[in-house]
Every structure is written in structure tokens, then in C-alpha cells.
A = this chain, B = another copy of it.
Amino acid sequence: MSMEPDDFLRAVEAALFVAEAPLTPAELKLHVGNGGDLDAALQALASHYAGRGINLVERGGRWHFQTASDLAHILRREKDEPRKLSRAAMETLAIIAYHEPVSRAEIDSIRGVQVAKGTLDVLMEAGWIRPAGRREVPGRPLIYATSVEFLTHFGLGSRRDLPGMDDLRAAGLLDPVDLALEGMGGQSVLENDEEEA
């Protein structure tokens, strides 16, 4: 089968393995010297590695090892990680749920705080909101609405199941007493709502 690799080929193999970036044959020679036919060694290595989990490839005259393209999925493994929504995201979601469809500017004006771009992204990523067209006003802003997943996640039959203002008041949820405790004073105009961690 495959012959025992000679030392020159082994040197080329090792040099390519440790290299920080793809190497030209000239750069390779600085390492491995002239003790063999470099082109032949590269070809031999490329064919040796063809079909393996690692391939030796040439791109624009530079050589490097890379994983076989069909194995990309094992290099990135996804893992679910439970995370809690930030307060900014929670509020934005609530506004969309109660007022949909609603534009970003409208969300801002209801919240009294500018919503950061990332907040809508997070809600979109969570699958709870969706773009719902554009408002036919100057600038034609995107408007957002909640999704079916939103209803499912929150156990709502429909948006009408959301408690109304009277319910909120009765539950003491409109009570401004606790606002000071919520750190309202520290809120800047454009809040920094980078999701934690």
C-alpha cells in the first residue's frame, strides 16, 4: 500500500501541520531545505490525504491542511443553553404584544427609551417576533408583530388573552411605587442592553 514516507516528505507534512498560515513552496523550502523534490512531496501528500478527514489543499499557490468540507458540522456543535431575557427585551416584547403591529420608533416612544438594535434581534432569534410589513408613513419603517411561537411559549390562545389595563391595575402591576427600586434613575436615553453573557 502506501510506502513508508521519507524524511523529506515527513518534514513537509510536519511543517504544513504547524504553520500558522498557508505556505508557498518557497516558504516551505526555508524550513525543509532542498533535500528532496518539494513539488513531488506536495503532490504525494495531497493524494495521501485525499479522502481522509484532513486534506492538503492548494489555494493561490499556498498550501495548507484543512478539514474535509463534509465534516464542517462536527467542528461546530450546537448546544441549547437556557437564557433569561434582559429587561429591555422583555419590555420591547411586551410593547409589541400589546400594540402590534408597531414600528421601532413607536416602541421607543412607548418605552420612553430607545431600543437597541440587538434587542429586536434577540426577540427575532427567539422566534417571538416577526417583521410584519412596513408602515405607510414617511420612511416606511418596518413594523413588528408577535409570532405563533410567541403565543405558544407564553401559553396564550390569542393576543386577546393578554390581561388588559384593568387587570394589570388590579394586580398592582401599574403601581409606580417600585419604580425607584427598578433603577429607573440610571437609565440613559440609549440604553445599553447587551444581553448578559
Contacts and interface: CB of A to CB of B under 8 A. Distances in A.
A74 B41 CA distance: 16
Interface string A3-18: 0110101111111011
B30 A71 contact: no
Given A51-B4, A53-B10, A30 B67 contact: no
Contact of A74 (B14, B67, B68, B77): B14
**Max count, chain B CB within 10 A of own CB: residue among A5, A32, A71:** A71
A98 interface: no
Contact of A68 (B10, B54, B70): B10
A189 interface: no
Contacts of A32: 74
Interface of A is mostly: helix
A75 interface: yes
Contacts of A53: 5, 9-15, 17
A84 interface: no
The number of chain A residues touching the other chain, given as a range, is 20 to 34
Contacts of A62: none
Contacts of A17: 53-54, 65, 67
Contacts of A7: 70
A159 interface: no
A1 to B, nearest CB: 11
A134 interface: no
A154 to B, nearest CB: 19
Interface in A6-37: 7, 9-15, 17-18, 30-33
Given A17-B65, A18-B67, A65-B17, A11 B74 contact: yes
Contacts of A14: 53-54, 67-68, 71, 74-75
Top-4 shortest CB links A-B: A13-B53, A10-B53, A14-B53, A14-B67
